A and B are shown apart, each in its own frame.
Chain A
């Protein structure tokens, strides 16, 4: 398995290379550049055109695109992601603060999705077309049909604005003695993570319900019952053990998706994560940051796919590593 993982990781390199070329090209096709925004719109700078040219030369933007790309790759291989035009800080520093916030948010959302979505789906399938199944299925379709950011607004309105139970901004409460405590951080995490998780909870519920129902009618489940096994063992060892397999695959795929999906929600909750960083960088044409965040999203998605494959092979003996 170790050699399989290593081989797969090496296999990611060409994909990442192509992704960076595409992003690099698209980025330069966008009109304007960082210094036109930073300098050109500043009325206090007299000779804007000259300053812009000077700063572009300093940042290497006057070179040809292929040359710029090669420089970027060489720096990347040295572990240097460049310096943000906007913040005048190393990109690695910016990402170092943003990425953990986003990963925390995404992992919490994944946890909520699995802990709530899977059991509900199983209960529904176990009592199919009964009251619980029908009511929660309706609710699931509703959740699944509405975009997550709408829920974010609802959640903020209800739990922050009206009830004032939970904070709706940032990762910590500012200027209080308990600022940054674990409890404080968890409180701040609840609303954004829930908003991020809700549509996926609905999706996983539907998926788990469908899988479980399908497995219920398999011959081997009848065999298990014909052996006199208790219904609990039939459900957990024979039905769920099979029904969970497609879920684990989906889970792997979603790891990358959730990190990307957090972008909009981070804006709503002013969550200082990759989303905020990415949107700002794109608006301000902060090329080094755009490249770095895109690269990280791409790595997340590819790693998610790799995790999906590893999970599948470890859950299903019919699938081998090769």
Chain B
């Protein structure tokens, strides 16, 4: 494998208050190859959104803090940059889109300004030029009346159009990496497919690598080259998408796969995983999945398993497989 675009090692993001220490992200490792799509999958509360915000160094302070780790992007450790240097990376070499296109756009600024300000900031273009390029960007994400849209406000657009505008914004400087945090969760299914298509075509055109964060395995199956499965702030399995779908090794991944409804299968009840994700303030002492794991044994509750490379490129955090 070529030198990865992004290397994340032992990333730990905690929320520290007087009462508790919440380990939202607890020692996460993964790589993103240039031009590839990495899917990060997990339930709500598994730490996947906090991981993505940590990469951008946008963890909500002052309680939230990246306490340890390395995030090496194009050879630089982002965690060692000053805030000013980091802001040169954001929106420029690394773009991000968020789950809620309704609230992620500023309601009182025109779409054109919100896209154009990225170009003004990073490309130092004039206002007029920024507007011209914004129209081009809107057209490239599939807006038919881009000339009018630049002068409209977010509330005048539908949810899918707003997410397209978000993508245009994030892609304005042709970043090497796009982080998409649940980009389709808030959208209708037909619009979801359009947005995913758009992301795929932009990736193919610009060679942008994508980190796609979702709890939707269908989206992962459609988009991802590689997959990281997160549970309780940790990576429990990581491999190529094919390997994860064809040969899931971790009991959690297996259980996730079984809980996908299959249309032509005549099952009485959909399989589900008993219990809920443990609170990050109060993790079990051993394997974090053990309390919900059908295969768990006594030893699972005692000792936290290491992430092991079981097959070439296929990592699993489970002692039983």
Contacts and interface: CB of A to CB of B under 8 A. Distances in A.
A182 to B, nearest CB: 39
B58 A225 contact: yes
A245 B106 CA distance: 13
A188 interface: no
Contacts of A318: 107-108, 153, 155
A317 B104 contact: no
B91 A228 contact: yes
Interface in B82-122: 87-92, 95-96, 98, 100, 103-109, 117-118, 121-122
Contacts, number: 80
A231 B90 CA distance: 13
A229 B100 contact: no
A316 B108 contact: yes
A245 B89 CA distance: 32
A228 B118 contact: yes
Contacts of B121: 227-230, 233
A233 B106 CA distance: 13
Interface residues of A, number: 24
Interface in B52-104: 56, 58, 60, 87-92, 95-96, 98, 100, 103-104
Given A233-B117, A317-B153, A227 B90 contact: yes
A316 B108 CA distance: 6
A224 B106 contact: yes
A227 B108 contact: no
Interface in B149-183: 153, 155, 166, 169-170
B292 to A, nearest CB: 31
Interface residues of B, number: 29
Nearest to A227: B91
Contacts of A220: 103-107
A241 B106 CA distance: 10
A226 interface: yes
B155 A223 contact: no
Contacts of A317: 107-108, 153, 155
Q: Which of A225, A228, A238 has the most CB of B within 10 A?
A: A228
B103 A218 contact: yes
Given A237-B109, A317-B153, A227 B100 contact: no
A78 B21 CA distance: 76
Q: Which of B87, B103, B108, B109 has the most CB of A within 10 A?
A: B108
B17 to A, nearest CB: 13
B88 A219 contact: no
Nearest to A241: B108
B108 A226 contact: no
A222 interface: yes
Interface in A221-251: 222-231, 233, 237-238, 241-242, 245
A217 B98 CA distance: 14
A190 interface: no
Contacts of A226: 56, 58, 90-91, 95-96, 98, 170
Nearest to B152: A317
Contact of A227 (B118, B153, B155): B118
Interface in B27-67: 56, 58, 60
Contacts of B103: 218-220
Contacts of A241: 106, 108-109
Interface in B166-206: 166, 169-170
A237 B60 CA distance: 20
Interface of B: 56, 58, 60, 87-92, 95-96, 98, 100, 103-109, 117-118, 121-122, 153, 155, 166, 169-170
Interface of A: 217-220, 222-231, 233, 237-238, 241-242, 245, 315-318
Given A220-B104, A230-B121, 11 more contacts: A220-B103, A220-B105, A222-B98, A226-B90, A226-B170, A228-B92, A233-B121, A238-B106, A242-B106, A317-B108, A318-B153
21 contacts: A219-B103, A219-B104, A220-B103, A222-B104, A223-B169, A225-B87, A225-B90, A226-B90, A226-B95, A226-B170, A228-B88, A228-B121, A229-B117, A229-B118, A230-B87, A230-B121, A242-B106, A242-B108, A317-B107, A318-B108, A318-B155
